[in-house]
Amino acid sequence: MKVVVCTKQTPSTTAVFSIKNGIVSWDDPGGKPNVVNPWDEYAIEEGIRLKENHGASDVIALAIGGEESKEALKTALAMGCTGAILVSDDAFAGSDAVGSARIWAAAINKIGDAKIVIFGKLTIDDNMGVAAMMTARKLGWTPLTFVSAIKSISADSITVERLLDDGKETVTAPLPVVISVVKEINEPRYPSFMGIRKANRAEIPVWKAADLSVNGGTGAAASKVDWSHIFAIPPRVGSVEMIEGDSIAEQVKILVDKLFEEKVI
């Protein structure tokens, strides 16, 4: 059984962003400009566990993006994925969520024989949270989103627990499935020293548009969404008012008065 994990390179969580003429750039005071999308660490970890505990033969990390996305794939390899593939073509640039799902579906079909595809819940840069569901639909497979535990897997079915807004749901579905995972599912491991050495030597194959049979349009021309206008968050109006007083009792009294005035109680 093959497992595919989809992972993206995103700015580090401490990155400081700036925008000029609608172009977003960032750097990181800690010197870590790009990382694996934090939510995807759980997807990668779960994929590796399927190999360790459920006899998956291959765990293949898949990314769509530029050359720099190889860094995220190398992290996935260093953690323990058995293979990695980068899908990269100028023709794919500017795809909207549906366009991306068409590309994932084509790549997953080309990998062949995958029974479980794992996505993270959300990418922190585009913040859409729809990739797993859309890819499932494009593949015609069952989607299982917000998975917080894989309860059991047999040759032809899977049972998972899903973390919904109002509780935990247990669902059983026949394979193949596309799942997205939430943080509760596991504790991602750190890449081992050996893993990092192996990953650095790995040759990551790059698939172009011509290598895939994508069903439907991709790239900016086929996109039905415009998100080009990006801007900084306006600073919060007014600065903090520090509540002083002779005693704590007096301070909290003033604060409570203010909060009633603000009508938030």
Partner 1 sequence: MSGVWVWIENSNGAVAAISREAIGVARTVANELSEELVGLVFGHQVSDVADAAFDLGVDSVIGCDDPTLAPFRVQAVGPLLAQLVQEREPSVLLLGDSTRGNDLAAWVAAELDAGLVTDAIELKVEDGTLKATRAVYANKLLSTAFVTQGLQIVTLRSRAFPQAEPTGGSGSAEWVDAVVAEDEIPAKVTGFAAKEGGVSLTDASIIVSGGRGVGGPEGFAPVRELAEVLGGALGASRAAVDAGWIPYEHQVGQTGKTVSPDLYIACGISGAIQHQAGMRGSKIIVAINKDPDAPIFSMARYGIVGDLFQVVPALTAEFKARLGK
Ligand X SMILES: Nc1ncnc2c1ncn2[C@@H]1O[C@H](COP(=O)(O)O)[C@@H](O)[C@H]1O
Ligand Y SMILES: Cc1cc2nc3c(=O)[nH]c(=O)nc-3n(C[C@H](O)[C@H](O)[C@H](O)COP(=O)(O)OP(=O)(O)OC[C@H]3O[C@@H](n4cnc5c(N)ncnc54)[C@H](O)[C@@H]3O)c2cc1C
Q: What are phi and psi of 150, to 5 degrees?
A: -95, 115
Alpha-carbon gap, residue 13 to 79, rounded angstroms: 20
| 178 CB burial (10 A radius; 0-12, 13-18, 19+) | buried
Collapse the DSSP code of 209 into the 3-class scheme (helix H, G, I; strand E, B; otherwise coil) and give the result: helix
Quick check: 119 binds ligand X (CB under 6 A)? Answer: yes
Quick check: 223 binds partner 1 (CB under 8 A)? Answer: yes
Quick check: 98 binds partner 1 (CB under 8 A)? Answer: yes
- CA angle 102-75-60, nearest 5°? 45
- Give CA separation, 75 vs 9, 82, 150, 184, 241, in Å: 10, 12, 23, 21, 45
Shortest spacing between CB 138 and ligand X, in angstroms: 13
Shortest spacing between CB 263 and ligand Y, in angstroms: 27
Quick check: 82 binds partner 1 (CB under 8 A)? Answer: no
Which listed option, partner 1, ligand Y, ligand X, none, makes contact with residue 216 (CB within 5 to 8 Å by class)?
Answer: partner 1
Quick check: 249 binds partner 1 (CB under 8 A)? Answer: yes
Shortest spacing between CB 180 and ligand X, in angstroms: 7
The amino acid at 216: G
Which listed option, ligand Y, partner 1, ligand X, none, makes contact with residue 133 (CB within 5 to 8 Å by class)?
Answer: partner 1
Binding ligand X by CB under 6 A: which of 80, 120, 143, 195?
Answer: 120
Binding ligand Y by CB under 6 A: which of 27, 28, 33, 38?
Answer: 38
Quick check: 13 binds ligand Y (CB under 6 A)? Answer: yes
Which listed option, ligand X, ligand Y, partner 1, none, makes contact with residue 94 (CB within 5 to 8 Å by class)?
Answer: none
Neighbouring residues of 193: CB distance < 8 A, sequence distance ≥ 6: none
Q: Tokens standing for 251?
A: 């301070």
Closest residue to ligand Y, based on beta-carbon distance:
13
Which listed option, ligand Y, partner 1, ligand X, none, makes contact with residue 120 (CB within 5 to 8 Å by class)?
Answer: ligand X
Alpha-carbon gap, residue 171 to 168, rounded angstroms: 10
Shortest spacing between CB 107 and ligand Y, in angstroms: 27
Neighbouring residues of 163: CB distance < 8 A, sequence distance ≥ 6: 146, 147, 148, 182, 184
Pair type for strands 157-164 and 23-27? unpaired
The amino acid at 184: E
Quick check: 33 binds ligand Y (CB under 6 A)? Answer: no
Candidates 127-135, 145-153, 219-227, 253-261: pick the segment binding ligand X (CB under 6 A): 127-135
Contacts to ligand X by CB under 6 A: 6-8, 37, 39-40, 43, 62-65, 119-120, 122-123, 126, 128-131
